[in-house]
Structure 1
Amino acid sequence: MTAPSTRPIRKKTGRPRSTADNDPAGAAAGRARPARPAGDDRPRAPIRTRGLTKEYGDLVAVDHLDLEVHAGEIFGLLGQNGAGKTTTILMLLGLAEPTAGQARVVGLDPARHPLEVKRRVGYLPDAVGFYGDMSGRDNLRYTARLNRIPRAEAEPAIDEALEQVGLAARADSPTDTYSRGMLQRLGIADALIKDPDVLILDEPTTAIDPLGVKEILDLLRSLVTERQMAILLSSHLLNQVQSVCDRIGIFAAGRLIGQGTMPELAHRFGDDIAHVEAEFETADEAGAARVREVLAAIPGVVDVAAPSRPDGAWVASVSPVGEETRVRRSILAAAAATGLDLTSVRSVPPSLDDIYRRAVERAAHGHARDVR
């Protein structure tokens, strides 16, 4: 697998936008596109919704969604399959009409101006479709023609996008020879040749090997750094969302039950429990059983989790929050008293898994409200 390029990404050059900024119908008719004004007039929040709702009969798929995604950030939309994430994306792209509320994407109403929104937004669905008998390069040329990008602009943009996503060496191979990870990276290249202000990705790393996942996440981070794009990443994979997203929104049953940075979410949903990690040298099952017994006997420890790998740490869940220092001291004392070989002990913040579970549990009991 060819890794994505590490050279700097081309900063936005202000390629002429469609006249559909003010006249979407004119853009559809193929009128010339004037250049963007010299000052960057992109909205601070290229994605914004207020009370956005979608109902299918008696089913409320998205329930009064208030959301902002800012330029220069990756916003992770986290939730189980069926939580409402994809329906939200379809409304943002103008592919589904809201039942109530409103959305603005790059300042436009997707329900009224879907063609112009699609020209200015890069979209990567969970299953990317390309013509298998065409090369990666020719698929991108086809996309460029659909978006009425002049050939003189399209060719260098295609070359740059292919290099950036690490597909330059395979650009002229038929896409039916590509792996899923390569197809996903080609999908990102396909989105980039439009020079978009916004990139929306729906489960972009599903069924991709760990190295491919890292390459895609690193690429997304570089896009934000170099282009100041707004990226909306929909996923149910908590560790990936936590590793790459600046802010996270937790979706459950069509509602956004919490949003913010990891520290903000931890403060809101992780305030009732903390964790202390302890590493022991244990040679057999009897030693592991002894560690569990010692940790579980410490006052304030409400749960004990064994290491997930041989060189991992035991995790003691502590309640109430604020008792971590005392618990750490108790672990040190207990290890010395029992002869256990303790190699390290430290407090750790709540993980996104902890936060997500608590948020969903509170929402199920009616205790969660949207974070503004």
Structure 2
Amino acid sequence: MDHSIIELKGLTKRYGDFTAVDSLDLSIRKGEIFGLLGPNGAGKSTTILMMLGLTEPTSGAVQVCGMDSTVNPIEVKRRVGYLPDDVGFYEPLNGRENLLYTARLNRLSLSEATSRVDHLLERVGLRQAAGKKVGKYSRGMRQRLGLADVLVKNPEVIILDEPTLGIDPIGVREFLELIVVLSREEQITVLLSSHHLHQVQQVCDRVGIFVGGRLLAEGGVSDLSRALFSDKEPYLIEVGVDTVGLGNGADRIAAVAGAVRGLNHVVSVTVDAGKLCIGSEEDVSADVARIVVNAGMGLTSLMMKEYGLDDIYTKYFEGGEVYGKIA
């Protein structure tokens, strides 16, 4: 995933005295799932509109699939699929008829359109509902049909704007799993705009945090966690051990704690009620488990907490400070 398929440089959009997007620099690689995070009014939707050539930037440059979205908006739209938070369909038509209509608008021949539509209905799990009128579809079914709709033209990039709003938890999980499969198997680049942090963390390779029109941070969740919480030990590991029948249990635990302290990246080790609490800069859980087992002790539990997207997001809102970008 070395090739950048989206390049934004100094991208700015002003409406009078109001700056919706402020000097945005962003590079998204081919086949990557990138999450745009931020509250309403943060600049996410305006950024998407500029990528699609639906609004012109005040200054800066935007390139999608190697083309300037401002100069060649039609060409960009041919290669990019966009799924808004509420998809519009012809409700008296069934799902298959709606997709065939989109395929014909994209100049696919009837035979090619029929083949592709049937394939996509199968892919998004709507084959059984293909003959059902869209007006009778649930919210989750409409979003699945919307995903099939943007895939009809075989895009290189798909942009999803709050795609899981109003979908039940099972539907959300299945939708996100489908997004991951599309990215991994077909190398489709996915731009996911959302404020549902746990969903973004599940599927995105990298995230960008938007506040007040500015991109405050970008990077992988682990990288951002290490950069922000290095003073708090980004990995916290709790290990339960069993010394029953071994004798001198406290001494054995103390010896194991000493061995763990000697591991690279370990910052702190404490013993509390027969448990080891370890703070480290990297994930050393496998090495810790090996030390416990080699010492002849029972390993009863091993839990690791890594600071997640909730913690990172909250940190960036403390004073609205710009902390920087993590590549």
TM-score of the superposed pair, with normalisation by structure 1: 0.70
SS at match of 2:4: coil
Contiguous gaps of at least 5 residues in structure 1: 1-41, 281-320, 335-342
Give 1:159-178 correspondences, 5 Å limit.
159-178=118-137
- CA offset digits 1:221-278 (Å, max 9, x no partner): 1101111111101110000000000111111111111111122111112223357577
- CA offset digits 1:85-139 (Å, max 9, x no partner): 1111111111111011011111111112111211111110011111111111111
- Give the structure 1 partner of residue 139 of structure 2: 180
Q: Does 1:325 align with 2:266?
A: no
Q: Number of aligned residue pairs: give it.
A: 280
Letter in 2 for 1:159: D
Q: 1:236 aligns with which of 185, 195, 205?
A: 195
Letter in 2 for 1:184: Q
- Give the structure 2 partner of residue 306 of structure 1: none
Q: 1:201 aligns with which of 160, 169, 172?
A: 160
Q: 1:352 aligns with which of 302, 309, 321?
A: 309
Q: In the aligned structure 1, how far is the partner of 2:228 from the partner of 2:140? A: 34
Q: Does 1:256 align with 2:215?
A: yes
- Give the structure 1 partner of residue 32 of structure 2: 73
Q: Does 1:58 align with 2:17?
A: yes
- CA offset digits 1:290-311 (Å, max 9, x no partner): xxxxxxxxxxxxxxxxxxxxxx
Q: In the aligned structure 1, how far is the partner of 2:172 from the partner of 2:205? A: 18
Aligned identity (percent) is 50
- CA offset digits 1:20-68 (Å, max 9, x no partner): xxxxxxxxxxxxxxxxxxxxxx992111110111111111111111111
SS at match of 2:315: helix
Change (3 A) 1:245 1:331: farther
Q: Does 1:123 align with 2:82?
A: yes
Native 8 Å contact 1:269 1:359 kept in 2: no
- Give the structure 1 partner of residue 112 of structure 2: 153
Native 8 Å contact 1:52 1:102 kept in 2: yes
Q: In the aligned structure 2, how far is the partner of 1:367 from the partner of 1:65? A: 13
Give 1:1-372 correspondences, 5 Å limit.
44-274=3-233, 276=236, 324-326=268-270, 329-330=271-272, 332=274, 344=301, 346-361=303-318, 364=320, 366-371=321-326
Change (3 A) 1:217 1:147: same
Q: In the aligned structure 2, how far is the partner of 1:210 from the partner of 1:105? A: 33
Q: Which moved more, 1:345-354 or 1:93-102?
A: 345-354
Native 8 Å contact 2:89 2:134 kept in 1: yes
Change (3 A) 1:237 1:333: closer
- CA offset digits 1:296-336 (Å, max 9, x no partner): xxxxxxxxxxxxxxxxxxxxxxxxx966522xx136479xx
Q: In the aligned structure 1, how far is the partner of 2:268 from the partner of 2:19? A: 42
Native 8 Å contact 2:224 2:312 kept in 1: yes
SS at match of 1:201: strand
Native 8 Å contact 1:270 1:354 kept in 2: no
Q: In the aligned structure 2, how far is the partner of 1:98 from the partner of 1:265? A: 29
Q: In the aligned structure 2, how far is the partner of 1:72 from the partner of 1:367? A: 28
Q: In the aligned structure 2, how far is the partner of 1:358 from the partner of 1:347? A: 20
Q: In the aligned structure 2, how far is the partner of 1:279 from the partner of 1:223? A: 37
Change (3 A) 1:67 1:158: same
- Give the structure 1 partner of residue 259 of structure 2: none
Native 8 Å contact 1:249 1:259 kept in 2: yes
Change (3 A) 1:196 1:273: same
Q: In the aligned structure 1, how far is the partner of 2:2 from the partner of 2:266? A: 42
Q: In the aligned structure 1, how far is the partner of 2:268 from the partner of 2:163? A: 38
Letter in 1 for 2:272: S
Q: In the aligned structure 1, how far is the partner of 2:180 from the partner of 2:273? A: 39
Q: CA deviation at 1:208?
A: 0.6
Native 8 Å contact 1:50 1:102 kept in 2: yes
SS at match of 1:325: strand
Contiguous gaps of at least 5 residues in structure 2: 241-264, 277-299
- Name the structure with the higher strand share: 2
Q: In the aligned structure 1, how far is the partner of 2:220 from the partner of 2:122? A: 32
Native 8 Å contact 2:6 2:28 kept in 1: yes
Q: In the aligned structure 1, how far is the partner of 2:136 from the partner of 2:50? A: 33
TM-score of the superposed pair, with normalisation by structure 2: 0.80
